[in-house]
């Protein structure tokens, strides 16, 4: 059923984009009601509007906390047209009917991001706005509710095409969007109050939907919800795909672990090349040597500025994405030569607090794995040398970011072999050794990291036979003593960390 808009209540925080709507409503002869700053905005356009105070008989009180919370406002929104009792009440109490409500909400999330002052944050919890939106949404059969400036252009289109009338379906669509706005807003407030307390409810809400070409595979529809712009500035290339985003997340997670110059190459969320060196070019050269086959079509990331020297070398490889905190202009000139190549300037480190996974009929939630080791127990034939310790620390981090079962072999802070996603630890080690040999690395003097304990001494034996001299692992097996004894008998260093790093 179509409904012609004869009156409108407008009270918004954001005024941008509002002027064309106000002018159109005035042109259509719609009676306007407003409050505070919005009222001033409308009147400065030379358009008449009635202050809500004239309707309610009450001024804005309590520092603006109470402006529209009054029966004469909510009665005009909730009154059902054609309902005898409602019509009797609106006539008896002289309540003006409202056909359109344009109300947005105080910027609570933005305020939380910009300050830690609790008083300022609390004052940005909207009361009247949410109430008006819910009332108008509930009565969508008679009232149109617009709850976000993102819908201004759509509303203006509706007003122009229908000469100020709305259909029932349009009002229903606006109401659905309005309740979504309220739900997102309430989750943000609840999250703020629950930030230091457990809750029995799982609540997350992300806005800014970005439709993707497809999901992991072309037959799967997909979308991303979130704020990529706060993390990256895209300098070149096509839109990020589902698989791109998953790999970019993995890349950003591992790079946060390092402060010295590091380059990493990611493929299907696993690191296939990584090295730490004195400068970005040397780090790239070493990272690429780890596994130049897997690097093809990979996601590249560094914590250093991309200069022209390293850009020229990277440009020789086909890759999907390059992420860096800065790019020299000469480097960009080289790398932008291919229009689909994605270049991301990372504005800030990725800081993950919780991790989520959909399973069965619910959601798994866990703390992000920010611990590398809880203890450093020297359990081998001798204590680790300083060089071994540095390599073991590096190996432990790399292994932590591989899919389980995982083994990482490191030599001079360069990945020289890795096995991941295997159903046995022996298979993971065998894969790591084979990889290293395939790409011409000598494993003599290399170190090994394992994401979980060794159930038997077969892995340390294989490692020793391959030339590995030091091992880092969490420990915790009922047969830890077997692996420890093998290391002692064969001159190997072993560190036990008491921190497992399963990753599935």
> CA 130, 131, 137: angle at the middle one, nearest 5?
90
**Whether the Cβ atoms of residue 289 and residue 330 lie closer than 8 Å to each other:** no
- Residue among 89, 268, 437, 488 flagged as catalytic: 268
- Annotated active-site residue 268? The verdict is yes
- Cα 214 to chain centroid, rounded: 18
4: CB partners within 8 A, 6+ apart: 99, 164, 165
Beta-carbon count within 10 A of 394 CB: 26
In sequence order, what DSSP letters do the residues of 112-178 get, joined into one string? HHH---HHHHHHT--SHHHHHHHHHHHTTTT-EEE--GGGHHHHHHHHHHHTSEE-HHHHHHHHHHH
Neighbours of 451 (CB within 10 A): 25
DSSP, res 230: G
| CA-wise closest residue to 269 among 428, 457, 403 | 403
Question: Does residue 138 have an active-site annotation?
Answer: yes
DSSP 63: G
For residues 67 and 52, is the Cβ–Cβ distance under 8 A? Answer: yes
82: left (phi over 0), alpha (psi -120 to 50) or beta: left
Angstrom CA distances, 403 to 189, 271, 406, stand at: 35, 10, 6
Choose the catalytic residue: 72, 138, 184, 234: 138
Element (H, E) at 8: strand 7-11
Positions annotated as catalytic residues are 138, 268
């Amino acid at each position: 059923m179509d409904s012609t808009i004869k009156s409108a209540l407008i009270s918004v925080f954001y005024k941008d984009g509002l002027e064309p709507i106000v002018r159109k409503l005035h042109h259509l002869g719609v009676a306007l009601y407003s409050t505070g700053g919005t009222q001033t905005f409308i009147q400065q356009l030379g358009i008449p509007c009635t202050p809500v105070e004239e309707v309610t008989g009450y001024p804005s009180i309590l520092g603006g906390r109470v402006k529209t919370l009054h029966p004469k406002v909510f009665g005009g929104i909730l009154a059902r047209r054609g309902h005898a009792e409602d019509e009797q009440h609106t006539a008896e109490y002289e309540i003006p009917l409202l056909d359109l409500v344009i109300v947005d909400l105080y910027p609570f999330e933005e305020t939380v991001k910009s300050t830690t002052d609790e008083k300022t944050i609390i004052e940005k919890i909207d009361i009247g706005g949410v109430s008006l939106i819910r009332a108008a949404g509930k009565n969508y059969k008679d009232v149109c509710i617009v709850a976000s400036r993102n819908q201004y252009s759509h509303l203006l289109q509706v007003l122009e095409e229908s000469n100020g009338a709305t259909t029932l379906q349009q009002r229903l669509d606006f109401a659905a969007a309005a309740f979504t706005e309220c739900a997102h807003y309430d989750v943000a407030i609840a999250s703020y109050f629950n930030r230091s307390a457990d809750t029995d409810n799982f609540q997350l809400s992300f806005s800014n939907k970005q439709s993707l070409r497809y999901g992991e595979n072309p037959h799967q529809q997909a979308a991303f919800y979130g704020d990529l712009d706060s993390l990256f500035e895209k300098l070149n290339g096509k839109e990020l795909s589902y698989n791109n985003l998953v790999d970019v997340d993995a890349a950003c997670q591992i790079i946060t672990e390092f402060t010295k110059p590091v380059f990493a190459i990611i493929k299907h969320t696993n690191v296939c090349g990584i090295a730490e060196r004195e400068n970005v070019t040397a780090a790239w050269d070493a990272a690429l040597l780890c596994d130049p086959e897997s690097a093809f079509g990979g996601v590249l990331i560094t914590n250093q500025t991309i200069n022209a020297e390293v850009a020229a070398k990277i440009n020789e490889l086909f890759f999907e994405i390059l992420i860096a905190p800065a790019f020299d202009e000469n480097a960009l000139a080289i790398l932008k030569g291919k229009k689909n190549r994605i270049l991301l300037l990372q504005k800030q480190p990725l800081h993950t607090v919780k991790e989520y996974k959909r399973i069965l009929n619910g959601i798994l939630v866990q703390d992000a794995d920010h611990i590398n080791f809880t203890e450093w127990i020297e359990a081998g034939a001798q204590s680790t040398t300083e060089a071994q310790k540095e390599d073991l620390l590096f190996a432990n981090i790399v292994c932590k970011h591989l899919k389980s079962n995982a083994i990482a072999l490191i030599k001079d802070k360069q990945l020289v072999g890795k096995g991941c996603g295997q159903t046995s630890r022996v298979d993971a080690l065998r894969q790591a050794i084979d990889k290293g040999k395939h790409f011409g690395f000598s494993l003599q003097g290399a170190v090994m990291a394992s994401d979980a304990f060794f159930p038997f001494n077969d892995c340390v034996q294989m490692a020793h036979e391959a030339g590995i001299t030091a091992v880092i692992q969490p420990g915790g097996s009922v047969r830890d003593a077997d692996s420890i004894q093998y290391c002692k008998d064969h001159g190997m260093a072993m560190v036990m960390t008491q921190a497992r790093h399963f990753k599935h």
